[in-house]
A and B are shown apart, each in its own frame.
Chain A
Amino acid sequence: MKRVQFEHSAVPYLFVAPQILIISIFFLWPAAQALYQSFLLEDAFGMSSQFVWFRNFEDVLSSSSWSRSAIFTVVFSVLVSVLSIAISLFLAVRADEVIRGAKSYKTLLMWGYAIAPPVAGLLGNMLFNPLMGDLYFAFNSFGFEFNHIENANDAAFVVILIAVWKQVSVNFIFFLSGLQGIPKSVQEAATLDCKSPERRFWTITFPLLAPTTFFLLVINLTYAFFETFGIIDVSTKGAPGGSTATLVYKVYVDGFLGADMGGSAAQSVLLMIMVSILTVFQFRFIERKVHY
């Protein structure tokens, strides 16, 4: 905090008032409602509801569709994070070395940040359309019998590919600026010590990028959890049979399309707990990094 601060009674409250007002109405109130609803059971017509303690949670945790969705979410998030981080790190290392055209390459690889997840989903939808999708035809012409509409693994492949494609740019931006932050003297000393670029990468560059990589891992997991909603909703819609529905997508499907308010609220609360853990983890890490 600041050594010198204003001591004034009314002004600080005036300045935080707009933020606190918006947070109270659109954050605290709905969050409290989610918590309250997760303990309620509505009848089939939504006319009355009764307090049922943890029954919604028991129902959610014991349902096979929730645990299947949870497993998919974990596998999906890990694969998307690891793949997109690996691809963008590979590209960033090359983009950092290259001299001619460095600026153009940078622009060509970072603009994807601006693409909305549902737009990415639609582009994937187009390329995998059984009527005309180039990738759909290409995979089948190699004899894969690729069918993402009926086969759960193929559908998961499509969603993961789109999610990775969308995320490469963000990771690339962070890695490139991380690489450019490594002092020239360190790089030159490394070049003198070992000629092989691969060894140089693993012994010098990668360890120096470890904080960036770790930070990106958290960012990517959060992205895979939440922001892929748009991708899933316009590509597979969780099909076939809910096998590509992440937990966030399931909250939406059960709450809005299925009108199971209590169950959906209980799922929301479970998600809140998971995100809280992830965020606290992230903040501890960031606070530690600030001390360096």
Chain B
Amino acid sequence: MYQSKWRIFTNHAILILGALFMIMPVWIAFSSSSYTPEYIFQNGLQFWPGAHFFDNYGAILFDPSATKGRVTALEMLFNSMVLGLGFAIGKVIISMMAAYAIVYFRFKLAVPIFWVIFSTLLLPLEVRIVPSYEVVAGLGLLNTYTGLILPLIASATGTFFFRQFYRSVPDELLEAARLDGAGPIRFFIDILVPLSVTMIAAIFIIMFVVGWNQYLWPLLMTTDDQLYTIVIGIKQVYNSLYEGGQIPQFPKAFALTIMATIPPVLVVVVFQRMFVKGLVETEK
């Protein structure tokens, strides 16, 4: 296709500016995380990395006092991992099963059940946050992984993704399977699940990132810092920055921010093709 020299030049200039716009804030946080608090306090944010990278990251990873609590960043990363994986696994399994029942079976309560599932899309957790908290507290699930993960799974986005996908699977498959004498459970495990592998992977990646990045719900749920996820941990560290008349520990707060960002970004970049396919095809 014809492109003028000027157009090619501006294309690159605009894209480079766009990339810088995205990267700059994270780069500055990264650079500034490798200085002493005194240096940052006196000289402001830094553009190039300094000499204290290993001191700062080592301290917050292994020393609980650096994160102003009883947990280290390593434990917070572990909690985030549990939340991300638990959320993704739970969501994929539950919604695959529910979508299977809705698409492949004729049963009495199919219509009301479909509407109950649909209604969860209307009301995100954010709008029913206070009563949800009370229910979870009533069940004695505050400060547990179960209480952290299950309410987040209650929204049915995944079910709709799989419903859409199953509907695109040719009917002939089911006819053939039935001729061969396969029952519903056999058909699901031996044919449908293996057929959905790419779909499962794509949804799993998206859900892992969504789970890792949860904020409001973990913030309310976890009063015990043993269960802090890294996203919650950063907020606590930022909140305590100006306490006690000491020099604010900005570099450590930045280091924590960087560590919260790296895992989901890596997942998205490494599995980019699958992730983009999943995002674009399921949300439509």
> Are the chains A and B members of one assembly?
yes
Binding site for B on A (CB under 8 A): 1-9, 11-16, 18-20, 22-23, 25-31, 33-34, 37, 87, 90-91, 94-95, 97-98, 101, 105-119, 122-127, 131-134, 137, 165, 168-170, 173-174, 177, 187-188, 191, 195, 197, 215, 219, 226, 229-230, 233-234, 248, 251-252, 255-256, 261, 264-265, 268, 271-272, 275-276, 279-280, 286, 289
- Cα-based distance from A9 to B101 in the complex (angstroms): 11
The one of B107, B120, B129, B185 that contacts A255, using a Cβ cutoff of 8 Å: B129
Minimum Cβ distance to chain B for residue A39 (Å): 13
A2-B104, A18-B98, A132-B45 known; A265+B131 contact, CB < 8 A: yes
- Cα-based distance from A144 to B232 in the complex (angstroms): 34
- Cα-based distance from A111 to B21 in the complex (angstroms): 12
Comparing B1-9, B51-59, B60-68, the segment that makes contact with chain A is B1-9
Q: Which residue of A lies closest to B134 (CB)?
A: A33
CB-based contact A7/B106 at 8 Å: yes
CB-based contact B213/A116 at 8 Å: yes
Residues of A contacting B279 with CB < 8 Å?
Answer: 113, 170, 173-174
A30-B134, A124-B25, A234-B238 known; A177+B276 contact, CB < 8 A: yes
CB-based contact A122/B257 at 8 Å: yes
CB-based contact B15/A98 at 8 Å: yes
Q: Which 4 A-B pairs have the closest CB atoms?
A: A116-B213, A114-B264, A12-B105, A30-B131
- Cα-based distance from A28 to B32 in the complex (angstroms): 46
Minimum Cβ distance to chain A for residue B217 (Å): 10
- Which bucket holds chain B's interface residue count? 35 or more
Can you list 14 A-B pairs with a CB-CB distance of less than 8 A?
A: A7-B106, A14-B101, A22-B94, A23-B116, A29-B135, A94-B18, A108-B23, A114-B264, A116-B264, A122-B257, A132-B41, A169-B22, A226-B124, A229-B126
Residues of B contacting A105 with CB < 8 Å?
Answer: 15, 18-19
Residues of B contacting A264 with CB < 8 Å?
Answer: 130
Q: Which residue of A lies closest to B122 (CB)?
A: A276
Minimum Cβ distance to chain B for residue A85 (Å): 14
Minimum Cβ distance to chain A for residue B178 (Å): 8
Interface residues of B in 138-182 (CB under 8 A from A): 139, 150-151, 153-156, 159, 167, 171, 174-175, 178
